[in-house]
């Protein structure tokens, strides 16, 4: 269910959007109900857990500076960053599909600014709009291996936005003591109630416009893996590893 709602979070292409049939009032009502239920589910799962946000002060401090911030996460860990950064009006991409429409409504209920686009429809336009909004000072969030994977393979969108805007990139990793994983390409992680959730925000960094997109993707991927490892260590020991 979470995968169905979130699988279209961030990907880009040059394809133009296809025409869509208008939604009936019944379809719109069903979408509103599904979005409300999904929003309540994400909120209740985190509110009923012991939640610790490690390194969050770096995000807050960066927001006080002149540069915007880009939150990077893996697609399979989307739920926790989505909940954690809900009050900051971050820009995020959602596809033009029906699943994307559902996700857009959930994102808007969490106070995100939604840009529409995906790998198959309207992606280039969505990317350009995100670059424009980040250059204007808005911070953003992206699931960098979405929406279709492969898992933990960073797509170029985050690198392009970071290089064109000069924004700080903050990688976030998540660890849960109680969770289930969906049988999907990204093994979407759903935290269970009354568990312990740790979200680790890594140190902010910028991506030099002079480096290649491939090197930028590798940099983001390594920082994300490090943040995930730190979240796991903190979950087990209550400490951050300096290694």
Cβ pair 199, 174 in contact under 8 A:
yes
Residue 33, pLDDT above cutoff 70:
yes
Q: How far apart are CA 145 and CA 77, in angstroms?
A: 11
Query: Which residues share a beta bridge with 196?
Result: 50
Please give the mean pLDDT across all residues of the chain. Answer: 86
Per-residue tokens: 113: 């600014």
CA-to-CA distance for 172 and 156, rounded, in angstroms? 18
Q: What is the fold of 2-11+26-237?
A: Glycerol-3-phosphate (1)-acyltransferase (3.40.1130)
Are 49 and 191 a contacting pair, CB within 8 Å?
A: yes
Sign of CA dihedral 76, 77, 81, 83: positive
Mean per-residue pLDDT, 165-173: 96
What gap in Å lies between CA 38 and CA 3, rounded to an integer?
11
Q: In this structure, what token pair is assigned to residue 172?
A: 């976030």
Tens-place pLDDT, residues 5-28: 333 333 323 333 334 445 677 778
| Strand 179-181 versus strand 189-191 pairing type | antiparallel
pLDDT tier at 122, thresholds 50, 70, 90: low
* pLDDT tens digits along 77-87: 999 999 999 99
pTM value? Answer: 0.85
Give the whole-number percent of the chain exceeding pLDDT 90: 68
d(CA 194, CA 200): 19
Q: What is the mean pLDDT of residues 25-33?
A: 84
Write down the domain spans for the chain: 2-11+26-237
CA dist., res. 186 & res. 43, Å (int): 21
Each residue's pLDDT tens digit, 179-196 = 999 999 999 999 999 999
* Neighbouring residues of 61: CB distance < 8 A, sequence distance ≥ 6: none
Radius of gyration of the chain (CA): 17
Confidence of residue 243 (pLDDT cuts 50, 70, 90): low
Phi, psi of 34 (to 5 degrees): -60, -45
Burial of 21 (0-12, 13-18, 19+ CB in 10 A): exposed
Dihedral angle computed from the Cα positions of residues 230, 51, 205 and 153, in that order, rounded to the nearest 10 degrees: 70
Determine if residue 149 is left, alpha or beta; phi over 0 gives left, psi from -120 to 50 gives alpha, anything else beta: left
């Amino acid at each position: 269910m979470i995968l169905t709602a979130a699988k279209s979070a961030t990907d880009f292409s040059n394809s133009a959007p296809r025409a869509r049939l208008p939604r009936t009032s019944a379809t719109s009502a069903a979408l509103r109900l599904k979005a409300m239920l999904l929003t309540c589910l994400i909120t209740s799962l985190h509110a009923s857990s012991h939640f610790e946000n490690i390194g969050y002060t770096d995000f807050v401090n960066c927001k006080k500076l002149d540069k915007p911030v880009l939150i990077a996460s893996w697609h399979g860990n989307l739920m926790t960053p989505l909940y954690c950064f809900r009050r900051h009006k971050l820009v995020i991409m959602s596809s033009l599909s029906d699943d994307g429409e559902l996700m857009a409504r959930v994102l808007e209920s969490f106070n995100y600014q939604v840009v529409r686009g995906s790998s198959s429809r309207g992606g280039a336009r969505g990317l350009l709009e995100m670059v424009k909004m980040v250059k204007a000072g808005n911070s953003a969030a992206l699931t960098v291996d979405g929406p279709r994977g492969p898992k933990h393979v960073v797509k170029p969108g985050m690198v392009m936005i970071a290089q064109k805007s000069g924004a700080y990139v903050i990688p976030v990793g998540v660890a849960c003591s109680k969770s289930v994983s969906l049988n999907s390409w990204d093994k979407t992680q759903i935290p269970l109630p009354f568990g312990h959730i740790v979200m680790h925000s890594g140190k902010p960094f910028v991506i030099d416009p002079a480096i290649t997109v491939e090197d930028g993707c590798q940099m983001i991927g390594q920082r994300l893996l490090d943040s995930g490892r730190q979240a796991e260590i903190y979950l087990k020991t209550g400490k951050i590893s300096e290694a």
